[in-house]
A and B are shown apart, each in its own frame.
Chain A
Amino acid sequence: MASSDDRVAGSDTGEDCPCRDGMFDTLEANRRRFIFGAGSALGAASALALATLPARAAEKAPPGAVWYDVPEDPTKVPGRPVAGDGGYGTRSQFETAVRIRFPTPNANTSWSLTPLASLYGNITPSGLHFERHHNGIPTIDPSRHSLVVHGMVGTPKRFSMDDIKRLPSVTRRHFIECSGNGLTEWKSPKGKTVQQTHGLLSTSEWTGVLFSTLAREVGLKDGAKWVLGEGSDAAVMTRSIPLEKMLNDAMIVYGQNGEAVRPEQGYPLRLLLPGYEGNTNIKWLRRLQVSDKPFMTREETSKYTDLMADGKARIFTLDMDAKSVITFPSGDMKLPGPGIYTISGLAWSGRGRILSVDVSTDGGHLWYPARIESTPEPMCTVRFTFPWIWDGKPAILQSRCTDETGYIQPTLAQLLAIRGDHGPYASVYHLNSIQSWAVASDGGVSNVHA
């Protein structure tokens, strides 16, 4: 458990609470699954994982699945009829990965983390995309929803969902990362699993209209420099976005992974700002107000700012710097024995494409180039892999990425030297340093600072 130094000041409240470790309300089934997660090259791996599933999983299907009796031999009995699921499929009853909520005092302003170790490739299943809500998930009828664009424009306009879908669309894959991803990890390793340390990261294929298209429909006035985005939730979330970013690549999205954006992700309309901190990607978007100055909203002043050791706070730290993490093997897993493993992980940058990823198995002394599984795209995760023969001795696994701007993912020591280390409420955001996983001689994997 954390020392008292590592804990949040007792008198303060939970919304920003970075370090109530051990309080994750992880589903037991999900936790046990991490004993050996996906990704091993060994055939024995999956059998081992199944053997450790608790018996009660058989009594109740996990979220997103329906439980069916399992026949002895599926080739000897007819299966289920076509469309018997009502027309919308579910995942297998054997797939148990779920989002877990961070234990803030109030579940209406809280966040849930993506189970990164259970994912394949780059895309996060929509139902596992991380969440951060500031007063719950609103229920919105799209026929009554619209987007108003006004302020320093020629003609302020209201766009219905039908209007927006008439406009030319683009489809692009981008990650969203909360700038608070990993905020528990500054002082000492806290999260047991990669879900807890890095789970405020998700990637989707987004479909929608470029803001530049809407801007032409309303016309922009000289002197315009900022755009306020406003959500239609109970927090009526607002952030000010530089117009340059809005015209560069901002999207007003209604599609996520081929279907409508999920309610937790902003149904029916979300602002998508590739590479920007997650909070700026306003969900349930109802209004864009063009202005010459930022509005200095609550989130962009009192919350998503980075307090340095000299008492000054950085404001509008919007880009997410390059970052990578090994998802297999990762914390709370156990390797069954020496042999060959395929180390696997994700790398991403808010400033462009990932250029390369290196992997170290000795705590960062020697680095080897990893294989990148797909063509890197701007502001999108890439899956990397690295074949590793584990000799059974203790090892420290790390990954380090470089993006196309030449920025190299820093060590924690490098970041601490800049950002300072003065208390749990200081510079908690934008932790993008190299993650270390220690493999013990018994195969156990744990979160360490190395």
Chain B
Amino acid sequence: MFTHDLKPLVRRLLLAGAFSIGASACAFAQSASDTRIGVGTPVTKAELSKYFAIPPDGTGLPAGSGTPSEGRVVFMDNCAICHGDKLQGNPKPGFGGDRLIGGRGTLATNAPVKTVESYWPYATTLFDYVKRAMPFSAPGSLTDDQVYSVVAFILAQGHIIKPDATMNAKTLPKVQMPNRNGFVPDPRPELSLYH
């Protein structure tokens, strides 16, 4: 594992001009010309392209597109076993998929129901999560078109987008989720505890 091969480090220190007093390796400790140690390998854009995290403005959304009707097929093949064919969830042992739709208007009641439809503030989060972690038994196995389409299906089933709407990198960030303005920053420490 740890090779103790310090040659690359020494080379970098030389380049940094830190190796100022002959061959003594302790010299760099006194040199403040560069506070970097010089460890790590620069990565290229191509290497970074396999990673993603999609923020609400849609930065990083891939090419491709999908519709609710295409998504229905993807959903029934890959998702319904855990989330139910009516997107109602499946609490059975071995499954445990969340309910995905319904619950609008319940958040301020005594029986709040949190779903994609009622609670999730951003449609981009749904895309990001499905692409990264779903389906549960084969995460990351869907194509980008499949992810767009299954996201479109869920949003259409939740009456958030029209049944014939196409989801792509342009349209998805514009989707207005019902609970978009339902979140407030952490107000703690709670001042009433200091009364």
Binding site for B on A (CB under 8 A): 9, 11-15, 17, 104-106, 108-109, 134-135, 142-143, 148-150, 155-168, 213-214, 216-218, 228, 230, 234-236, 238, 287, 289, 291, 293-298, 301-302, 305, 307, 309-319, 321, 351, 405, 407-408, 410, 414, 417-418, 422-423, 425-426, 430
Contact = CB atoms under 8 A, between A and B. Distances in A.
Contacts of A310: 108
Contacts of B133: 134-135, 234-236, 298
Contact of A14 (B37, B96, B113): B96
9 contacts: A156-B43, A166-B9, A301-B183, A315-B186, A316-B185, A317-B188, A321-B188, A417-B192, A422-B110
A413 to B, nearest CB: 12
Given A12-B89, A236-B140, A301-B125, A314 B55 contact: no
Nearest to A417: B192
B96 A15 contact: yes
Contact of A315 (B40, B54, B136, B184): B184
A217 B43 contact: no
B77 interface: no
Contact of A414 (B1, B107, B136, B193): B193
A74 B147 CA distance: 65
B54 A295 contact: yes
Contacts of B91: 12-14, 17, 105
B1 A296 contact: no
B144 to A, nearest CB: 16
A181 to B, nearest CB: 16
Q: How large is the interface on B (under 10, 10 to 19, 20 to 34, 35 or more residues)?
A: 35 or more
B42 A155 contact: yes
B179 to A, nearest CB: 8
B115 to A, nearest CB: 9
B183 A315 contact: yes
B22 interface: no
A311 B118 CA distance: 11
B143 interface: no
Nearest to B56: A296
B96 A294 contact: no
A423 B186 CA distance: 21
CB-based closest 3 A-B pairs: A311-B108, A105-B96, A157-B40
A55 to B, nearest CB: 31
Interface in B165-193: 182-190, 192-193
Max chain A Cβ within 10 angstroms of own Cβ: one of B9, B43, B119, B126: B43
Contacts of B119: 302, 307, 313
B7 interface: no
A405 B189 contact: yes
Interface stretch (B45-53, B61-69, B156-164): B45-53
B93 A298 contact: no
Contact of A12 (B2, B55, B57, B99): B99
Contact of B95 (A105, A217, A405): A105
Given A312-B182, A315-B186, A291 B110 contact: no
A244 to B, nearest CB: 14
Contacts of A418: 190, 192-193
A414 B94 CA distance: 38
Contacts of A423: 109-112
Nearest to A228: B53
Contacts of A228: 53
A11 B88 contact: yes
Given A321-B189, A407-B189, A417-B192, A148 B43 contact: yes
Given A289-B51, A302-B125, 8 more contacts: A148-B48, A150-B51, A155-B42, A295-B53, A301-B120, A418-B190, A422-B111, A423-B110
A217 B184 contact: no
Nearest to B44: A156
A296 B39 contact: no
Contacts of A319: 186, 188
Contacts of B2: 162, 165
A405 B191 CA distance: 13
A314 B185 contact: yes
B41 interface: yes
A158 B186 contact: no
A402 to B, nearest CB: 12
Given A135-B136, A157-B41, A234-B139, A314 B96 contact: no
A217 B37 contact: yes
B182 to A, nearest CB: 6
Given A296-B55, A307-B107, A314-B184, A217 B36 contact: yes
Given A11-B89, A301-B183, A321-B188, A163 B40 contact: yes
